Amino acid sequence: MITADLLTGLQSFLPQDQVIEGGKQSHPLGNSGQVTVFPKSEEEIASVLKYANDNGKTIYVEGAGTKKGFGGLTESADILLSLAEYKGIVEHVPGDMTLTVKAGTCFAELQDYLAQYKQKIALDPFVPESSTIGGIIASNESGPKRLGYGSARDAVIGLRIVYPDGKVIRAGGKVVKNVAGYDMNKLFIGSMGTLGVVSEVTIKLRPLPKYESLILLSFPEGNFEQIRAFAIKLLDSMMEPVSLELMSPSLSERLTGKTRYTLAIGFEDVENSVHYQEEFVRNIQPDNSELEILIKEHAQRFWDNFYSIAPYPAAHGGSKETNAVLKIGVINLDVLNVLKESQILGDSHNLLVEAHGGLGHGLCQVNLKGAGEDVVSAIHEVRDAITKLGGYVVVKHLPFALRKEVSVWGDKPAHFFMLEGIKTKVDPNRILNPKRFVGGI
Amino acid sequence: MAVKGIKSKDKHIINLANIIGDARSILYHTEDLIAYDCDGFTLHKHLPKAVVFPKNTQEVANLVKYCSENQLPFLARGAGTGLSGGAIPLNGEVIISLVKMKRLLSVDLENRRAVVEPGFVNLKLTNSIADKGYYYAPDPSSQYCCTIGGNVAENAGGAHCLKYGVTTNHILGLEVVMPNGEIVEIGTNGIPDAPGYDLLGLLTGSEGTLGIVTKITVRILKNPEAKQTVLAYFDRVEDGSQAVSDIISAGIVPAALEMMDKVAIEGVEAAAFPVGHPRDIEAVLLIEVDGIAAGLDEQINHILEVCKNRNVREVRAAKDEAERGRWWANRKTGFGAMGAISPDYLVQDGVIPRSKLPEVLNNINKISEEYGLRIANIFHAGDGNLHPLVLFDARKPGESDRALAAGSACLQVCADVGGTITGEHGVGIEKREEMRFVFSDEEINAQTDIREVFNPHNLLNAGKLFPMPGRCVEIKRDLKEKEAAIS
Amino acid sequence: MSVKEVDLKQDPACTTGLSNYLWSDHPDENKWADCVHCGMCLESCPTYEITGQEQHSPRGRVHLIKSVAEGKLAVNEQFMDPVFACLDCRACTTACPADVDVGGLIEEARGQIRQAMPLTGWKGTVSKVVLKGLFPHQNRLNSVGSLLRFYQKSGMQKVVRKTKLINIMPQHLVDMEAIMPEVKEPVRKKYKNENVIKAKGDTKAEVSFLTGCVMDVMFSDINEATINVLTRNGNDVTIPKNQTCCGALHVHAGDRETGRKLAKQNIEAFKDSDKIIVNAAGCGCMLKEYGELFREVDTEWHEKAEEFAAKVEDISKYLHDTGYEKPKAELNTRITYHDACHLAHGQGVRQEPRDLLLNIPGVEMVHMPNSDRCCGSAGIYNITNPEMASEVLENKMQNVPEDVEMISMGNPGCMLQMAMGVQKQGRNQKVVHTVQLLDWAYQKEDGKKEGH
């Protein structure tokens, strides 16, 4: 009944083929809708939000749905707002090195397009071939090359956001430096769509590197002190790696065939400079470590594989095993402890654990695979350990049924009242992505 | 216990003095306060009620709490070098000066971070870690004396933010006293992406309207292996600005790409740090590339080629670090140097898409003619951040107003080509009304809504950043009516 | 500074009518018009470093001085405080992108204050007795010198120290007493019968020497060394008889009238000289700025004052520029160098004295961070503002390397203050004048020659 009303209501201002009844309610990852809408314009997005706001309906927002397992404590909202049909480049000025694009545009397609101009978006999210730019921004996705290029908060210079009441707000602008008013962009990056629907993104671009290589430095003995000492030496040098990502033996095995702790050290610059830095690494290479250099397409192929390791919805087949992905933040060099901890965790909980983390920025990703209850208890355990290190654990991916058993975002921070205050101000009726964010926001 | 030596009968002064427990840490005589009636922006002046100098976070919190409970407007101030009037006590605020909180609390080179108090001077951080080969990247021209707390408030930029980003890209954590006196920590331990909305990003650049920062965790960087600095002289401004565009489009990311025009050159050469720029050229570019030494020659050659294609008259590379230092001193003291050719100046801070540089400089020239005021241009050309310096003499009747109008016209030009009104100096008092050039009422309200969450009674640094809303007019009218009713 | 838009600045000020500067010779509007309030001076200022307060910063002081001219402030106690707390170290002038002459403004403002509010109490006494009654009168100074000599030689010093008589003196005078240099016979007394002290060897040039008032009494050995070094390098040295105190201390203190009187006397005394050599940075700086004193008052002296100023040279710069014989004997000592404010900031002399020192064989120079930071001596500042002076000194001493045997500099005021710092910290370092080191090296060289 209710669904029928919804359908009628939405179809009163959206073409019929853009409003689809439910269908996916039983998705194991949750975050579905009674009705799915596919707006094709900003006005349509605005009218859906206004409709929901006026009628007390809840909305989940998604791009390609790659983050369906990320947060959210209800199986289904009234409306699933898909931005899959709201895509395309709005403006690209090669000379200004800026790009404005609609939120539903696929990330990999953007990079392919920009490559013609020898430019790129300096972000390296997982599953780029399906992820949309809007989803990447809303969930603040980043990868190993964050060390060299920063994250979404460093790249985004402007946003258009549709507010819950349907008004459209611009944040930032089209220039690379801007301090006019509050830096509202930051509020929406990583807000999991709980404040507004990002409809358009303006990003500053970087030139494609003239040359690139990747050093895989593996440590057969798995001596953490040795890895640590090497990392410190490299970080204290004047070399400029774009990544310094430590991979667990299990992950390394999948990507390089070697079951060893392996550092993925990327260099991107003019060729002379890259070779010079390779040489530097060779010179400080620890005893008993093995070094392999992948150049150009070979390096790119490695990264392509790397970005597809995560168990995202598309890969969620009939497997009985539960997949979980954790994002763990610690003080840079504590990444070593996280990897050590997750190794122990895998053994004690009978899980397959693949972990990696950046020694230059402190962010790790730990993928767990095994029985549901083992995964849940492992998450609890790892969170205890990480809290002691002063870090945090966010569960980036977990089936809906289990999300209730762990706290996706961890405990409320002491300053939660401010987050709550912002949410209440912007989305007083709490129609957008309810309970999908920290502390039930 | 009451503090001795307070010669005021004002109960607030006495109470504030008691909170900081030291008569020398509070100023309340007009003669002392007058030194606080403005910051680096001198066109508006107003006396504060008092200036207090807390020594630690708890004292800041206690002062804020007192002000908040007693409805006393208040604001935070660092070195007072801001160029948009963000620290001017428009409403007779109690100024909480953070210059006594100036310690470097810790440095962790391995994890590339340092923790400082807000009154710590920007350049001192780099100086403290330079011997280990590290530095703090944001380098506003005032870095010799501006505080990192102030940098956070204004989201300060600098010559080298073309490659390395502005302050917000280097802040990992903050301890903040909220307008109600509560102390909160965000970005715990300086770990990125802490769960929750990005309050670090929101607070940085909020011009002291959302909270008072009392501790800052910043990212520090390893020095680049090598730097090369080049001066390029052009006979035509168009050629200079085209060269800027070409360098960027060629896929080079210089560490800095600065430009000065003829009037600016006249100023810096007449002032304290002249370097002997030819006086008959129209534009000079100061270009710096840094990174791995082995890769720099290729970039420099590319830059030289670009400049030659744009009819450069002369290109010079810095011989040594000393010469490089002189060039930068000449550039970085550029604003103050205008004092040597003009009694007053007004600096604007518009940003434009880089490709619009020739067009915009041309229009600024027209504004100069139209208003009959000389305008010098010293700017971060690489990221399109213009600094038109409107030269005037405040002693000549009407000239200040004309300068303000000319400055505003420059910003309109920037906004018209899709740019913005401020790239690093902030809105403050100066550009409140110009906010309307780039934001609709709804967009401005969306921002003041956020302010209300943090600063509900608007006691903290009121009257900054946003245009005077219609509402204010209504309030004033209400007040007048009330007054009328009473009398 | 070369190019200025003079026409812009000579417009009549619209503020004059409101000005609260009621006496002539008021602060020069063109000086503050250069200040754009950018704040680049803040960190260079020792009193701002200590207080963190704007009114104790160069920019703040300029702002206050300007506010009086605009009629917003009166010349009163509260205005006096920041203006007199200035060390007049001129570090801000070096830091200022627009070359604002803060020091000049401060001195002019002090002149106004002193006329509005003549000194009373203990500071007044010091001013009257020391500045007016003593410094301009060489014979009285000499008597004090003799007394001091008597005090030191007779054993009185020991008695005072032993009997705890010292305990009843104010603390900062106790500190001063402890480091009082050994007083010798002044050169003006010694050479009073010689018109020209002839160069050793061929005469290359003739110079006049300003012996300084206190300098000659308290530090006559430095004057002696200066004469030795000059004559050794082919200079005939004259010591004009009618010369007097340079007036720096009076002008710093706001007594510009006395300053002018002394200036006139010196201008007359040296009117036949081509080159005037000074070994005290404070005096040198003052002499070079005589023109400022006659900008508004007694303007007929202005040109003469400027001509006089052009002839003044610090000993280190003179030796460096005209060439001197590099000593051959080794001194074998580790030293550090302190830039006297009135040498570095006031006269821009930084490298020359360092070169003199480095050219002495066996001298190892240890870098002093912030070497051009004021030591807190600042004329009689350490007597009038003892608390601030001692904090400034403490900050200074933190930068003075511990592992040196000597601290060299070019100003007697600094020498007393630094000696106090050394004493307070219980260090064992000798405070010397640059020219002394050079003289010792010559002496050692000559001693060797004679030995052979």
Q: Do domains A89-206 and A211-307 have the same CATH topology?
A: no
Are residues B269 and B321 both part of a single domain? yes
Per this entry, what is the length of chain A? 441
Quick check: is B331 in a domain? Answer: yes
In three-state secondary structure terms, C278 is strand
Are residues C412 and C304 both part of a single domain? no
Q: Considering only residues B124 and B338, tell me which one the structure prediction assigns the higher pLDDT.
A: B124
> Which of B195, B202, B295 comes nearest A409 by C-beta?
B195
Tell me which residue has tokens 């009516």. B481
> Which of B205, B251, B443 comes nearest A118 by C-beta?
B251
From the centroid of its chain, how far is CA C275?
A: 19
Task: Identify the CATH class of A89-206.
Answer: alpha beta
Are residues C172 and C65 both part of a single domain? no
pLDDT at C169 over 50: yes
Are residues B115 and B200 both part of a single domain? yes
pLDDT at res. C170: 56
Are residues C265 and C344 both part of a single domain? no
Joined together, the tokens standing for residue C326 give: 């590099």
Are residues C317 and C388 both part of a single domain? no
Q: Sign of dihedral through CA atoms A276, A282, A286, A292?
A: positive
pLDDT at res. C219: 82
Are residues C446 and C330 both part of a single domain? yes
Domain boundaries, chain A: 2-85, 89-206, 211-307, 317-403
pLDDT at B69 over 70: yes
Quick check: is C256 in a domain? Answer: yes
Quick check: is C293 in a domain? Answer: yes
pLDDT at res. A251: 96
Domain of residue B214, CATH code: 3.30.465.10
pLDDT at A320 over 90: no
Beta strands in A113-176 (DSSP E): 119-121, 156-162, 168-172
**What is B102-154 written as a DSSP string?**
--EEEEETTTTEEEE-TTSBHHHHHHHHGGGTEE-----TTTTT-BHHHHHHH
pLDDT at B477 over 80: no
Are residues B238 and B285 both part of a single domain? yes
Q: How confident is the model at residue C22 (pLDDT cuts 50, 70, 90)?
A: confident
Are residues C408 and C445 both part of a single domain? yes
Task: Give the span between the Cα atoms of B374 and B389, in whole angstroms.
Answer: 8
Are residues B274 and B204 both part of a single domain? no
List of residues 6+ apart from A317 with CB closer than 8 A: none
Compute the average pLDDT of residues C247-260: 90
Q: State percent of chain C over pLDDT 70.
A: 81
Compute the average pLDDT of residues A328-336: 97
Test C52 with B97 for CB contact under 8 angstroms. yes
pLDDT at B30 over 80: yes
pLDDT at res. C188: 82
pLDDT at res. B285: 97
Q: How confident is the model at residue A1 (pLDDT cuts 50, 70, 90)?
A: low
Quick check: is B21 in a domain? Answer: yes
Tell me which residue has tokens 């950018």. C38
Q: Residue A394 pairs with which residues in a beta bridge?
A: A327
Task: Give the span between the Cα atoms of C350 and A207, in whole angstroms.
Answer: 47
Quick check: is B86 in a domain? Answer: yes
Q: What is the mean pLDDT of chain A?
A: 94
Q: Considering only residues B486 and A327, tell me which one the structure prediction assigns the higher pLDDT.
A: A327
Q: pLDDT tens for residues C331-371?
A: 889 999 999 999 999 999 999 999 999 999 999 999 999 99
In three-state secondary structure terms, C197 is strand
Q: State percent of chain A over pLDDT 70.
A: 97
pLDDT at res. C10: 38
> Which of C1, C34, C38 comes nearest B40 by C-beta?
C38
Contact, C305 vs C275, CB < 8 A?
no
Are residues B136 and B27 both part of a single domain? no
Q: How confident is the model at residue C157 (pLDDT cuts 50, 70, 90)?
A: low
pLDDT at res. B369: 97
Most confidently modeled range among A177-181, B155-159, B328-332 = A177-181
Compute the average pLDDT of residues B166-175: 97
Quick check: is B159 in a domain? Answer: yes
Name the helix (H) or strand (E) containing B322.
Answer: helix B321-332
Joined together, the tokens standing for residue A45 give: 């997005």
User: Which amino acid is it at A105?
Assistant: T
pLDDT at res. C385: 84
Closest CA to B288 of B231, B205, B235: B231
Q: How confident is the model at residue A284 (pLDDT cuts 50, 70, 90)?
A: very high
Compute the average pLDDT of residues A26-46: 92
Quick check: is B362 in a domain? Answer: no
Phi and psi angles of residue A266, each rounded to the nearest 5 degrees, phi first: -100, 140
Name the helix (H) or strand (E) containing A36.
Answer: strand A32-37
pLDDT at res. C155: 56
Tell me which residue has tokens 């101000």. A425
Quick check: is C352 in a domain? Answer: yes
Are residues B294 and B245 both part of a single domain? yes
Task: Identify the CATH class of A211-307.
Answer: alpha beta
Contact, A137 vs A67, CB < 8 A?
no
Contact, A79 vs A10, CB < 8 A?
yes
- How open is the CA angle B116-B122-B125, to the nearest 5 degrees? 60
pLDDT at B481 over 60: no
* Residue B193 touches chain C, beta carbons under 8 Å: no
pLDDT at res. C379: 72
From chain C, the residues in CB contact with B101 under 8 A are none
Are residues C444 and C352 both part of a single domain? yes
**Mutation target among C10, C28, C36, C83 for the B interface, most CBs of B within 10 A:** C36
Are residues C197 and C298 both part of a single domain? yes
Quick check: is B453 in a domain? Answer: yes
Test C3 with B266 for CB contact under 8 angstroms. yes
pLDDT at res. B471: 47
Task: Give the span between the Cα atoms of B421 and B444, in whole angstroms.
Answer: 14
> Which range is least confidently modeled, B350-359, B416-425, C114-123?
C114-123
**Number of domains chain C contains:** 4
Q: pLDDT tens for residues C181-237?
A: 666 788 888 888 888 999 998 999 999 999 987 777 778 889 999 999 999 999 999
Cα nearest neighbour of B78 on chain C: C52
Contact, A7 vs A15, CB < 8 A?
no
Name the helix (H) or strand (E) containing A207.
Answer: strand A197-207
pLDDT at res. B280: 94
ipTM of the complex: 0.96
Q: Could you tell me the residue range of the domain that residue C443 belongs to?
A: 325-451
Look at strands B312-317 and C196-197 and give their pairing.
Answer: unpaired
Domain of residue C278, CATH code: 3.40.50
Tell me which residue has tokens 């404010």. C341
Domain of residue B266, CATH code: 3.30.70.2190
Residue A22 burial by CB count (10 A; 0-12/13-18/19+): exposed, middle or buried? middle
pLDDT at C144 over 90: no
Closest CA to C211 of C315, C308, C339: C315
Are residues C106 and C202 both part of a single domain? no
Phi and psi angles of residue C364, each rounded to the nearest 5 degrees, phi first: -105, 125
From chain A, the residues in CB contact with B193 under 8 A are 140, 142, 151, 190, 327, 329, 363
Give the number of other Cβ atoms within 10 Å of residue B472's Cβ: 11
> Which range is least confidently modeled, A265-279, A314-328, C258-272?
A314-328
Are residues B114 and B178 both part of a single domain? yes
- Touching subunits of C (3+ CB pairs, under 8 Å) are B
- Touching subunits of A (3+ CB pairs, under 8 Å) are B
In three-state secondary structure terms, A140 is coil
Joined together, the tokens standing for residue A83 give: 């931005």
Joined together, the tokens standing for residue A324 give: 């979980």
Task: Give the span between the Cα atoms of B461 and B451, in whole angstroms.
Answer: 11
Joined together, the tokens standing for residue C350 give: 């930084």
Q: How confident is the model at residue C154 (pLDDT cuts 50, 70, 90)?
A: low
Query: Interhelix angle for B293-309 vs B237-249, to 10°?
Result: 140
pLDDT at B479 over 80: no
Q: pLDDT tens for residues B115-144?
A: 999 999 999 999 999 999 999 999 998 999
pLDDT at res. B291: 95
Residue B45 burial by CB count (10 A; 0-12/13-18/19+): exposed, middle or buried? middle
Are residues B229 and B156 both part of a single domain? no
Assign a CATH topology to domain A2-85: 3.30.43
Q: What is the mean pLDDT of chain B?
A: 93
* Residue B157 touches chain C, beta carbons under 8 Å: no
pLDDT at B486 over 50: no
Q: Considering only residues C97 and C300, tell me which one the structure prediction assigns the higher pLDDT.
A: C300
Domain end call among B222, B241, B267: B222
pLDDT at res. C159: 54
Are residues B127 and B199 both part of a single domain? yes
Are residues B119 and B199 both part of a single domain? yes
Assign a CATH topology to domain A317-403: Alpha-Beta Plaits (3.30.70)
Domain end call among B66, B97, B128: B97
Are residues C273 and C229 both part of a single domain? yes
* Residue C38 touches chain B, beta carbons under 8 Å: yes
pLDDT at B474 over 80: no
List of residues 6+ apart from A426 with CB closer than 8 A: A163, A164, A195, A196, B446, B449
Joined together, the tokens standing for residue A120 give: 């790129």
From chain B, the residues in CB contact with C13 under 8 A are 395
Q: pLDDT tens for residues A159-213?
A: 999 999 999 999 999 999 999 999 999 999 999 999 999 999 999 999 999 999 9
* Distances in whole angstroms, Cα of residue C191 to Cα of each of A55, B469, C205, C224, C235: 106, 81, 19, 10, 16
Quick check: is B235 in a domain? Answer: yes
Quick check: is C1 in a domain? Answer: no
Q: pLDDT tens for residues C316-332?
A: 999 999 999 999 999 88
Quick check: is B238 in a domain? Answer: yes
pLDDT at C122 over 70: no
Joined together, the tokens standing for residue A239 give: 């070399």
Q: Could you tell me the residue range of the domain that residue B161 belongs to?
A: 104-222
End-to-end CA distance of chain A: 28
> Which of B272, B342, B395 comes nearest C5 by C-beta?
B342
In three-state secondary structure terms, C102 is helix
pLDDT at B250 over 60: yes
pLDDT at B156 over 70: yes
Q: State percent of chain A over pLDDT 90.
A: 91
Domain end call among B341, B358, B386: B341
pLDDT at res. C11: 39
How would you list the strands of the sheet with B26-27, edge to edge?
B26-27, B50-52, B94-97, B74-77
Task: Give the span between the Cα atoms of A307 and A291, in whole angstroms.
Answer: 22
- Touching subunits of B (3+ CB pairs, under 8 Å) are A, C
**Number of domains chain B contains:** 4
Closest CA to B107 of B84, B124, B86, B88: B124
pLDDT at res. A206: 95
Cα nearest neighbour of C12 on chain B: B395
